[in-house]
């Protein structure tokens, strides 16, 4: 057990000496802060699939470290054999969750290292894979801080901020995306009144966002998901900040289920709706949100996961999508590490593409 304080350790990290992926187990929060050291590929897969590590940036970093650790366990000096087994390990981790593009983005970056350095000894490629995994880790810190800087320029001291799910420190290495402006603002003496909706059915808002904001001394109120309209009607919300798991080329944003509903309500009340998205979540290969695969999760998350007793009758059907898509025309602005993008997003995202360095799945084939 390790205390997770106002200046926490990284939520995802590599322990190279022990050949381990180190994460904070988010399924235990806020009741206990448990730090896990994962060495087996099955453990890493399970950690991603069961949300012990979650949040698009954190998933990408975990996958990069995980496939590096898999590479360490491949005992061969023959590049073709090494590459074949590396791809198998990559595909295994890629199958853990289908929606967050960071998972595939990070794994593709790692595969690119193997392909570009085919003429090196396998031992040298392993060193380069470690460097790339650490680079992805460190980039996430810089990217999230930059998103925080740009996002902070959109909100004012004393404002009421609504956020959905958890897109903070726990969803990245440090800072987070949607919560980065709040953490940076707190460092600089600004005070915000944050309303964290509970975010059914996994309660990331109630369990995770409220936890990390309170650890940072930020005024935090937890509300039920169906209270969003009421607090906006009361005039308590001046801006909405949410994260993003995958953004299509036209600006449609896929995020935790319920995000699109918040955006619709915000439009009704004239509240600006900001999506904080590192460029690693922008998928220019998907024209619009209709092309994004939406993960469906177990019925038990709805019927019994957080209850002492089952809360729905046996045999009742359950529809439990993990994400929905917010249409681009409901998004006031997209905050990236390179700046704030305004509509039309088809144009602003295209203009960003030359500097964002996105890799296509087929880039090295």
Domains of the chain: 12-144 (1.20.120.420), 154-355 (3.40.50.10470)
* Catalytic residue positions, numbered: 245
Nearest alpha carbon to residue 44 among 28, 32, 58, 30: 58
Q: How far apart are CA 90 and CA 67, in angstroms?
A: 6
- How far CA 126 is from CA of 13, 70, 83, 302, in Å, comes to 18, 10, 11, 42
Bridge partner list, 62: none
Q: Are strands 20-24 and 12-15 parallel, antiparallel or unpaired?
A: antiparallel
pLDDT at 359: 39
pLDDT at 354: 55
Residue found under tokens 């990236």: 336
Q: Are strands 333-336 and 339-341 parallel, antiparallel or unpaired?
A: antiparallel
Buried b / exposed e across 192-205, counting CB within 10 Å, b at 16+?
bbbbbbbbbbbbbb
pLDDT at 296: 96
Residues contacting residue 29 through CB under 8 Å, at least 6 positions apart: 4, 170, 207, 208, 211
Contact between residue 55 and residue 176 where contact means Cβ atoms under 8 Å apart = yes
H/E run at residue 276: strand 273-276
H/E run at residue 242: strand 239-242
Burial of 284 (0-12, 13-18, 19+ CB in 10 A): middle
Tokens of 264: 């619709």
pLDDT at 363: 36
Prediction pTM value: 0.91
SS3 state of residue 219: strand
Nearest alpha carbon to residue 217 among 243, 246, 183: 183
Nearest alpha carbon to residue 181 among 134, 216, 138: 216
Q: What is the pLDDT along the chain (365 residues), one digit of tens a residue?
A: 233 343 346 899 999 999 999 999 999 999 999 999 999 999 999 999 999 999 999 999 999 999 999 999 999 999 999 999 999 999 999 999 988 889 999 999 999 999 999 999 999 999 999 999 999 999 999 999 999 999 999 999 999 999 999 999 999 999 999 999 999 999 999 999 999 999 999 999 999 999 999 999 999 999 999 999 999 999 999 999 999 999 999 999 999 999 999 999 999 999 999 999 999 999 999 999 999 999 999 999 999 998 999 999 999 999 999 999 999 999 999 999 999 999 999 999 999 865 554 433 333 22
pLDDT at 35: 93
Sign of CA dihedral 151, 157, 163, 167: positive
């Amino acid at each position: 057990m390790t205390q997770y304080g106002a200046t926490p350790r990284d939520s995802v990290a590599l322990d190279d000496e022990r050949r381990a992926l180190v994460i904070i187990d988010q399924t235990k929060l806020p009741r206990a802060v448990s730090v896990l050291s994962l060495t087996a590929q099955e453990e890493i897969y399970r950690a991603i699939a069961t949300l012990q590590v979650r949040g698009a940036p954190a998933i990408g970093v975990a996958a990069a470290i995980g496939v590096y650790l898999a590479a360490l366990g491949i005992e061969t000096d023959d590049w073709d054999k090494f590459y074949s087994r590396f791809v198998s390990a990559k595909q295994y981790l890629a199958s853990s969750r289908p929606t967050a593009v960071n998972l595939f983005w990070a794994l593709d970056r790692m595969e690119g290292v193997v392909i570009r350095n085919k003429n090196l000894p396998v031992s040298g490629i392993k060193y380069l894979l470690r460097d790339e995994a650490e680079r992805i880790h460190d980039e996430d810190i810089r990217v999230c801080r930059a998103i925080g800087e740009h996002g902070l320029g959109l909100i004012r001291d004393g404002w009421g901020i609504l956020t959905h799910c958890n897109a903070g420190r726990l969803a990245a290495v440090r800072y987070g995306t949607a919560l980065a402006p709040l953490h940076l603002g707190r460092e600089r003496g600004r005070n915000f009144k944050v309303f964290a909706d509970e975010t059914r059915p996994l309660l990331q808002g109630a369990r995770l966002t409220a936890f990390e904001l309170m650890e940072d001394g930020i005024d935090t109120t937890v509300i039920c998901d169906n209270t969003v309209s009421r607090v906006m009607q009361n005039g308590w919300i001046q801006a909405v900040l949410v994260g993003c798991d995958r953004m299509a080329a036209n600006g449609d944003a896929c995020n935790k289920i319920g995000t699109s509903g918040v955006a619709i309500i915000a439009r009704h009340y004239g509240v600006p709706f900001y999506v904080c998205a590192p460029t690693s979540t922008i998928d220019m290969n998907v024209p619009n949100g209709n092309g994004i695969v939406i993960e469906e999760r177990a019925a038990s998350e709805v019927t019994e996961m957080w209850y002492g007793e089952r809360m729905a009758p046996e045999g009742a059907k359950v529809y439990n999508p993990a994400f929905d898509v917010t249409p681009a025309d409901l998004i006031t602005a997209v905050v990236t590490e390179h700046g704030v993008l305004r509509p039309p997003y088809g144009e602003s995202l295209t203009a960003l593409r030359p500097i964002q360095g996105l890799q296509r799945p087929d880039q090295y084939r």
